[in-house]
Amino acid sequence: MLLDPTASGVYPIAPTPFHADGTIDWQSAEMLFAFYAGIGADGVTVLGIMGEAPKLEPDEALRLLKIAVKHMAGKPVIVGASAPGFAAMRSLSREAMEAGAAGVMIAPPNTLRTDDQIAGYYVQAIEAIGADIPVVVQDYPLITNVQMTPGVIRRIVTENPSVVMLKAEDWPGLEKISLLRKWQAEGTLRPLSIMVANGGLFLDFEMERGADGSNTGYAFPEMLIDVVQFSKAGQRDAAHDLFDAHLPLLRYEQQPGVGLAVRKYVMMRRGILASDAQRKPGAGLSAQGKAEVDYLLSRLARTDRRAKL
C-alpha cells in the first residue's frame, strides 16, 4: 500500500522508546504502535526528527519500522529518510519500502538557500531514491532553517510526480495553506495531501484553511483525531472547545529542545511508554518542569477525562 495524495486524518509522529541505559525499549515500542492503532490513527510516521532517528543504528531503525507496520495493519507508515548523503537516503528508503513503508519523508538540508537550490535538491534526492517511492516534503523552517515559498512548493510538486504529501509546519503558515488550496482550485497545482504539524499549535485554524489532517507528535493524539473530525464535520465550536482545553499543555510541549522530554514524560505518565528516557544527546525535564506538566494535566483532566491519570 503506497501513500497517495488522498491521505487525510491523523498520522502521529512516533517517538522512539528507550530504556534508561539508552538501549531501545522494544516492549514499549509494541505498546506504542498498538496504542496508535487502537485510538484509530489513520497512519503513523516513524524515524522523524522527534523519533531521534539520527541516533539509531540502521538495523534498529528497520526493526522499529517493522513493528509499526505490523500494528498499523495496512494503514500507511511514513518513514523519515532525511540524510546528509544520497547513498544513505537511497538505501534507507528502499529497505523501508521493502519492509512495508508507504512512503518516505524528506526534509531539506539546512545549507539550502535559494529557490533553485531547494527545488534542485528534491529533483536529485528523488532521482537517488527512485521515482517509484511516494515522497512527503517537510516544510519546517524553524528546524531546517530552509524557507520554501508556496511557489517553490508548487515547483517541487510539479517537477516530481512522486511527491504526494506536504508536511506543513511553517510558522506562520495559515496563508500558505490557503494559497496552495487556491492554486489547486484554479488548477495550477495538482492534488496534494497537506498534513499540518509544528506541534499542532494552529491545528484549529489550519483545518479551516484546508488541511487534510495532522501529522504531529502531541502526547494526546486522540485530541488531534477529535479536532480533525469535528472540523471536517463542520462542528467549529466543538473543535475549538476541545483544542482550547488542550492548548496550555500543547503550548508547554512547544519548547524547542525540551518538547520531546515533555511528550515522553506525558506518554510515560499515560502508560504508553515505560520510560521517558532519550538516547544521548538529549535534553531532560527538571523536577519543576515535571511538576508543571503534572499541574497542566490535572487542569486538563477537568474537561477531558482522558487526562485523568
Task: Give Cα 183 distance to the centre of its chain.
Answer: 24
Residue by residue, DSSP assigns 97-135 as HHTT--EEEEPPPTT--SHHHHHHHHHHHHHHH-TTS-E
How buried is residue 56: exposed, middle or buried, by Cβ count under 10 Å (0-12/13-18/19+)?
Answer: middle
Residues 269, 93: Cα–Cα separation, whole Å: 34
Q: How far is the CB of 65 from a copy of itself (least distance, A)?
A: 16
Q: Which of residues 1-20 bind a copy of itself (CB under 8 A)?
A: none
Q: Are 177 and 147 within 8 A, CB to CB?
A: no
Q: Facing residues of 136 across strands?
A: 105, 165
240 binds a copy of itself (CB under 8 A): yes
Pick 37 or 258: Cβ nearer a copy of itself: 258
Q: Which residues are registered as beta bridge partners of 286?
A: none
DSSP type of residue 305:
G
Between 40 and 84, CB nearer to a copy of itself:
84
Cβ–Cβ under 8 Å, residues 132 and 102: no
Does the footprint of a copy of itself cover residue 110 (CB under 8 A)? yes
Instruction: Rank residues 26 and 252 by Cβ distance to a copy of itself and give the closer one.
Output: 252
Compute CA distances 211 → 10, 74, 284, whole Å: 11, 23, 33
Chain centroid to Cα 237, Å, comes to: 25
- According to the binding rule CB under 8 A, does residue 286 interact with a copy of itself? yes
User: Exactly one of 21, 73, 280, 305 binds a copy of itself (CB under 8 A); which one?
Assistant: 280
Under rule CB under 8 A, residue 292 binds a copy of itself: yes
**How far apart, in whole angstroms, are the C-alpha atoms of residue 5 and residue 187?**
15
Taking CB under 8 A as the rule, which mask of x and - marks residues 217-236 in contact with a copy of itself? Answer: --------------------
Contact residue for a copy of itself among 197, 203, 223, 247 (CB under 8 A): 247
Q: Report the alpha-carbon distance of residue 141 to residue 148 in Å, rounded.
A: 8
- Of the pair 7, 89, the CB lying nearest a copy of itself is at 89
- The grid cell for 248 is 496550555
**Near a copy of itself in 80-99, by CB under 8 A:** 83-88, 91
Residue closer to a copy of itself, measured from CB, 79 or 83: 83
Candidates 3-11, 132-140, 161-169, 237-245; binding stretch for a copy of itself (CB under 8 A): 237-245
- The verdict on whether omega for the bond into residue 172 sits within 30 degrees of 0, i.e. cis, is yes
CB of 205: closest distance to a copy of itself in angstroms? 6
- Output phi, psi for 97, to 5 deg: -65, -40
Of 37-45, 65-73, 129-137, 253-261, the window that binds a copy of itself (rule: CB under 8 A) is 253-261
Specify the residue, 147 or 162, whose C-beta has the smaller distance to a copy of itself. 147
Q: Which of 6, 149, 158, 188 binds a copy of itself (CB under 8 A)?
A: 149
Q: Dig out the grid coordinates for 87 from the structure.
A: 547513498
DSSP 189: S
- Using the rule CB under 8 A, give the single segment among 95-103, 142-150, 182-190, 224-232 that binds a copy of itself: 142-150
CB of 54 to a copy of itself, least distance (A): 4
Residues that bind a copy of itself in the complex, under the rule CB under 8 A: 54-57, 83-88, 91, 110, 113-117, 121, 124, 127-128, 147-149, 151-152, 171-172, 174-175, 178, 201-202, 204-205, 208-209, 240, 243-244, 247-248, 251-252, 255-258, 279-281, 286, 288-289, 292, 299
